């Protein structure tokens, strides 16, 4: 289960999404998310799904990898679907005890779950196709106007990127610790709720120790390289927009306009 978590991983490649400017990808992702919440009829959901499938194909990332990003959150999707299923009033399809399963609840639960799947899947493509270094530089560039009001743009971008970068490492470390404890005869995840909670202590203690050790090593490495923040520092790879970025921005504008037309006219 832990090895299926792909959040924070970067898959090197030479696809169109890989070559796009990271700033453009972040901004377009923001507008895509806004479009999902703003245009919420059936035809718009179909258009959003088709666009997500096109992006997966263009990125050349295996659909199985994208599904792995969604898999750890299946219980949230299922809970959301069930809540909508029995909480939305309408035409009753089935009665289960004191709860009414309605057609409107079935429809709304399906589309809200689909919305969450699209959000997770497309957001994952940003990290799959953008290196942590470029993601840090892009976030800092987008937050740069806020520096005038004292906003720590560089520090925040650095913390966000480091946090995302270390998620796969911590997941791998957790998996190794669990296997090591099981090999020593530890009953992990067995018994009642209290027993399961107690069995997590031999996992959490070494995991926290390992996390603090990695954080200390990272701080020492940054200090050894004379890191003092982003002020006055140059970048190894300068970010430049290309024609493909302009086409992507224009395509998103046309797409949002089409969604708006469909939403208001259909």
Would you say residue 98 has pLDDT above 80?
A: no
Considering the domain architecture, whether residues 135 and 263 belong to the same structural domain is answered as yes
Q: Is residue 145 part of a domain?
A: no
% of residues, the chain, pLDDT over 70: 90
Is residue 102 classed exposed, middle or buried when 0-12, 13-18 and 19+ CB atoms within 10 A define those classes?
Answer: buried
Query: Binning pLDDT at 50, 70 and 90, where does residue 32 land?
Result: very high
SS3 assignment, position 102:
strand
Considering the domain architecture, whether residues 107 and 197 belong to the same structural domain is answered as no
The sign of the CA dihedral 20, 22, 23, 27 is: positive
CA dihedral 58, 23, 5, 205 (to 10 degrees): 170
Phi-psi region of 237 (alpha: psi -120 to 50; beta: other; left: phi over 0): beta
Q: Tell me which residue has tokens 């469909």.
A: 262
Q: Is residue 146 part of a domain?
A: no
Tokens of 84: 């909508």
Considering the domain architecture, whether residues 224 and 118 belong to the same structural domain is answered as no
* Owning domain of residue 183: 153-229
Q: Is residue 223 part of a domain?
A: yes
- By C-alpha distance, which of 53, 61, 79, 67 is closest to 5? 67
Would you say residue 184 has pLDDT above 70?
A: yes
Query: Binning pLDDT at 50, 70 and 90, where does residue 99 land?
Result: confident
Domain total in the chain = 2
Considering the entire predicted model, what is its pTM?
0.75
- By C-alpha distance, which of 131, 134, 137, 209 is closest to 170? 209
Which H or E run includes 113? Answer: helix 103-128
Q: What is the mean pLDDT of residues 235-262?
A: 85
């Amino acid at each position: 289960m832990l090895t299926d978590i792909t959040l924070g991983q970067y898959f090197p490649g030479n696809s169109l999404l890989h070559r796009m400017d990271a700033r453009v990808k972040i901004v377009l992702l923001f507008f895509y998310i806004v479009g999902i919440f703003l245009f919420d009829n059936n035809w718009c959901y179909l258009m959003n799904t088709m666009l997500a499938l096109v992006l997966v194909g263009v990125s050349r990332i295996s659909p199985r990898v994208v599904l792995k990003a969604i898999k750890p959150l299946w219980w949230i999707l299922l809970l959301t679907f069930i809540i909508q299923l029995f909480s939305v009033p309408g035409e009753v399809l089935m009665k289960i005890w004191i709860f009414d399963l309605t057609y409107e609840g079935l429809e709304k639960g399906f589309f809200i779950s689909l919305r969450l799947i699209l959000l997770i899947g497309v957001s994952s493509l940003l990290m799959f196709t953008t290196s942590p270094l470029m993601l840090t530089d892009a976030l800092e560039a987008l937050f740069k106007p806020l520096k005038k009001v004292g906003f720590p743009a560089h520090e925040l971008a650095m913390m966000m990127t480091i946090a995302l970068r270390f998620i796969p490492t911590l997941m791998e470390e957790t998996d190794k610790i669990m296997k090591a404890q099981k090999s020593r005869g530890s009953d992990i995840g067995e018994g009642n709720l209290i027993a399961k909670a107690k069995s997590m202590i031999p996992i959490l203690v070494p995991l926290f120790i390992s996390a603090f050790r990695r954080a200390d090593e990272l701080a020492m490495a940054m200090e050894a390289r004379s890191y003092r923040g982003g002020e006055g520092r140059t970048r190894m790879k300068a970010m430049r927009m290309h024609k493909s970025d302009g086409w992507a921005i224009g395509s998103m504008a046309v797409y949002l306009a089409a969604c708006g037309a469909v939403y208001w006219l259909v």
